[in-house]
């Protein structure tokens, strides 16, 4: 007999609900715990998962396997080429190992939920108990509603309820204890599982040797790495978060998103640790602005997951607001290429796109700027940008990405009207005042002095820009703005 914890996007030892429950079950039955991860290349393709994110997951798994082995717990990883075979293979493995109980944390995306529903039935027929539990959100989807019991689509009222819920239910932040050691006999019984090497990434999701090296340097893996980063952020920077978080040149934010996205760190752990270190313990107590604002950002992650559960059609390339379906988009490949390559002639946009190319990460302010630029200045279909982000970000996360693009293209849950259009030059002047971020990522403009950095061709740095081959702006913002307003108005009018 054995109990299985099936890993998905919860690649951690610490504070993991399903892992804890599986371990408790195994202990109560006196049987070993086996951890399992199933690589599904078709899912990676269907969900546009970035190769860098796959690499980050595999590196995390390798470390997890080593950590688990110290407690005689095997972690077995297998690639399932056809995703429709995944449920059947999971049941085969249960039979092979004599496992009667499977535990996992729920993933809320549509394909994943369907698979879990299917597995519940299939396991039942095979005499196996299948337990999918809520873990990834601090407040479970479905808990927060309007007074009439309806779903909430606006962040502020949702956030007030989220804070109240946590204040009223301190257990929501309680840590789940780590898994217990396996009986020593587990090692002989499952020797083969301990010896198995983590499979390579699917060919179409592999990095080059140079990329693998660069990303391994930039993004070390593991629960300890994530915890150290969190602890350092809380002790050194969280207090100033409300004043520094929008400045892409600094290190005002935590840069924990890659760890949160693969589940090497739980958002519950983040909020608990931040509150424990804070002199005020109740959420919404604004005497600790930095801390509360950061927790409010972590809450956005929960918020977009709740949105996904309430309106699953956002998983299907659809606008949250149906009346935004008829907007006429452009599909200009030259413009898209310029955006992707960071050659639009708008330095802040180009710096951000080059940051993503090098690091597979982009600062939040810049994500908003480049997304608004794509959807509103270039009028390109926002889904092209959403997809590009998923294909290139190490922290690519469906709910947060779709939420962020919906926000920026005004077709998501955000109640702000579509005529909020970012002016890339003003954004640049405000949030990269000295131009440090631009100079770091756009070497062609490194020698440009003063304010000309934000708009070299119109502010007297034409000679340097030209000499270094920096492109002229590919659109005129004022005209683009007019076109955007007209297109949105017409599109919404048509529905
Ligand atoms: P911090 O400011 O330190 O915030 C802490 C954590 O809170 C983050 O790690 C993240 O998990 C969460 N968080 C912060 N802001 C948001 C937000 N606006 N929405 C949801 N969660 C948030 N985040 C992703 O994790 N994956 C994505 O694929 C993603 N795509 C985005 C696309 C667009 C167009 C936009 C505007 C935002 C997107 N975000 C995404 C949200 C945000 O940009 C990143 O979470 C943040 O930049 C990560 O940096 P950090 O860890 O230093 O954040």
Backbone angles phi, psi at 34, to 5 degrees: -120, 135
Q: How far apart are the first and last CA of the chain?
A: 58
pLDDT in tens, the chain (495 residues): 999 999 999 999 999 999 999 999 999 999 999 999 999 999 999 999 999 999 999 999 999 999 999 999 999 999 999 999 999 999 999 999 999 999 999 999 999 999 999 999 999 999 999 999 999 999 999 999 999 999 999 999 999 999 999 999 999 999 999 999 999 999 999 999 999 999 999 999 999 999 999 999 999 999 999 999 999 999 999 999 999 999 999 999 999 999 999 999 999 999 999 999 999 888 977 789 999 999 999 999 999 999 999 999 998 888 998 888 999 999 999 999 999 999 999 999 999 999 999 999 999 999 999 999 999 999 999 999 999 999 999 999 999 999 999 999 999 998 888 888 999 999 999 999 999 999 999 999 999 999 999 999 999 999 999 999 999 999 999 999 999 999 999 999 876
Cα of 355 vs centre of ligand 1, distance in Å, is 15
**Entry field: residues in the chain:** 495
| Whole-angstrom distance, CA of residue 142 vs CA of residue 447 | 54
**Hey, which of 297, 373, 399, 414 would you mutate to test ligand 1's pocket, going by the most ligand atoms within 8 Å of its Cβ?**
297
For 219-256, give one letter per residue: b (16+ CB within 10 A) or e: bebbbebbbebbeebbeebbbebbeebbbbbeebbbeb
Order the strands of the 33-39 sheet from edge to edge: 75-79, 33-39, 2-7, 99-105, 129-133
Q: Distance between CA 382 and CA 364 in Å, rounded?
A: 17
Ligand 1 pocket by C-beta < 6 Å: which residues? 245, 253-257, 260-261, 297-298, 300-301, 304, 363-364, 367-368, 371, 389, 393, 395-397, 400-401, 403-405, 407-408
Rounded CA separation 155/304 (Å)? 9
Give CA–CA dist 470/466, Å, rounded.
6
CA dist 488 and 471 (Å) reads 29
* 55-60, Cβ contacts within 8 angstroms, sequence gap of 24 or more: 55/201, 55/207, 55/211, 55/212, 55/215, 56/215, 56/219, 56/221, 56/258, 56/262, 56/394, 57/11, 57/262, 58/198, 58/199, 58/200, 58/201, 59/216, 59/221, 60/11, 60/221, 60/222, 60/262, 60/264
Nearest to 413 by CA among 318, 296, 291: 318
Enter the ipTM. Answer: 0.99
Nearest to 11, CA basis, from 77, 102, 97, 110:
77
- Fold for 1-135, please state it: Rossmann fold (3.40.50)
Structure-block tokens of residue 300: 């956005």
Contact 468, 439 (CB under 8 A): no
| pLDDT given at position 286 | 77
Give dist(CA 266, CA 269) in Å, integer.
Answer: 5
**Helices (runs of H) and strands (runs of E) counted in the chain:** 23, 5
Q: β-pairing, 33-39 with 99-105?
A: unpaired
For 137-173+218-310, the fitting CATH number among 1.25.40.80, 3.30.70.2860, 1.10.3470.10, 3.30.470.10 is: 1.25.40.80
Q: Distance, CA 298 to ligand 1 centroid (Å)?
A: 8
Contacts of 169 (CB under 8 A, 6+ apart): none
Pick from 248, 274, 258, 265: nearest CA to 220: 258
Pocket test for ligand 1, best of 265, 366, 395 (most atoms within 8 A of CB): 395
Q: Whose CA is nearest to atom 20 of ligand 1?
A: 301
Task: Give the atom of ligand 1 at the shortest distance from the alpha carbon of 370.
Answer: 34
Q: Rounded to the nearest whole angstrom, what is the distance from the C-alpha of residue 65 to the centroid of ligand 1?
A: 28
Q: What superfamily would CATH give domain 322-494?
A: DNA Cyclobutane Dipyrimidine Photolyase, subunit A, domain 3 (1.10.579.10)
Name the residue among 482, 481, 442 with its Cα closest to residue 464.
Answer: 442
Kindly report whether the global pTM for this prediction surpasses the value 0.80. yes
Q: Which two tokens stand for residue 206?
A: 């592999």
Q: Among residues 105, 97, 125, which one has the least CA distance to residue 31?
A: 97
Residue nearest to atom 31 of ligand 1 (CA): 401
257 CA distance to ligand 1 middle (Å): 6
State residue 323's pLDDT score.
86
Ranges of each domain in the chain: 1-135, 137-173+218-310, 322-494
Q: Which of 257, 268, 389 to mutate to test the pocket of ligand 1 (most atoms within 8 A of CB)?
A: 257
Spatial distance between the Cα atoms of 15 and 64, rounded to a whole number of angstroms: 14
Atom of ligand 1 at shortest range from CA of 396: 28
- In the block, which residue shows the tokens 């409300």? 242
């Amino acid at each position: 007999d054995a109990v299985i914890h099936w890993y998905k996007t919860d690649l951690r030892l610490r504070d993991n609900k399903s892992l804890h429950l599986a371990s408790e079950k195994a202990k109560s039955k006196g049987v070993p715990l086996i951890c399992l991860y199933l690589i599904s290349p078709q899912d990676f393709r269907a969900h546009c998962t970035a190769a860098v994110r796959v690499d980050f997951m595999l590196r995390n798994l390798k470390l997890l396997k080593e950590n688990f082995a110290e407690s005689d717990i095997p972690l077995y990883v297998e690639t399932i080429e056809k995703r429709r075979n995944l449920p059947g293979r999971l049941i085969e493995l249960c039979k092979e190992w004599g496992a009667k109980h499977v535990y996992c944390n729920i993933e809320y995306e549509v394909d994943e939920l369907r698979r879990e529903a299917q597995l519940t039935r299939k396991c039942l027929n095979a005499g196996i108990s299948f337990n999918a539990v809520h873990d990834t959100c601090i407040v479970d989807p479905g808990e927060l509603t309007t007074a009439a019991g309806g779903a909430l689509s606006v962040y502020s009222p949702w956030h007030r309820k989220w804070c109240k819920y946590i204040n009223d239910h301190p257990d929501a932040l309680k840590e789940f204890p780590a898994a217990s050691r396996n009986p020593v006999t587990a090692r002989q019984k499952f020797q083969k599982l301990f010896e198995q090497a983590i499979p390579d990434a699917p060919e179409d999701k592999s990095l080059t040797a140079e990329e693998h090296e660069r990303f391994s340097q930039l993004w070390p893996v593991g629960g300890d790495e994530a915890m150290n980063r969190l602890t350092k952020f809380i002790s050194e920077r969280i207090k100033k978060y409300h004043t520094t978080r929008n400045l892409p040149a600094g290190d005002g934010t935590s840069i924990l998103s890659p760890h949160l996205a693969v589940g090497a760190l739980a958002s519950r752990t983040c909020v608990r640790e931040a509150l424990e270190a804070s002199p005020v313990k109740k959420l919404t107590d604004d005497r600790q602005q930095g801390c509360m604002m950061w927790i409010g950002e972590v809450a956005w992650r929960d918020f977009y997951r709740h949105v996904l559960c309430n309106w699953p059609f956002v998983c299907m390339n659809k606008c949250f607001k149906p009346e935004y379906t008829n907007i006429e988009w452009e599909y200009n490949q030259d413009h898209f290429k310029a955006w992707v390559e960071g050659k639009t002639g708008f330095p802040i946009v180009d710096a951000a796109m080059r940051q993503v190319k090098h690091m597979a990460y982009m600062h939040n302010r810049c994500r908003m700027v480049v997304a608004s630029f794509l959807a509103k200045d270039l009028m390109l279909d926002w889904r092209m940008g959403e997809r590009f982000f998923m294909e290139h970000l190490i922290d690519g996360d469906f709910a947060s990405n779709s939420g962020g693009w919906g926000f920026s293209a005004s077709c998501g849950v955000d109640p702000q009207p579509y005529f909020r259009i970012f002016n890339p030059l003003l954004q640049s002047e405000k949030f990269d005042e000295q131009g440090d971020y631009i100079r770091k990522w756009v070497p062609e403009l490194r020698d440009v002095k003063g304010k000309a950095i934000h708009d070299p061709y119109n502010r007297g740095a034409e000679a340097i820009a030209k000499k270094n081959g920096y492109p002229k702006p590919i659109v005129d913002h004022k005209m683009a703005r007019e076109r955007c307003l007209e297109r949105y108005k017409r599109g919404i009018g048509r529905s």
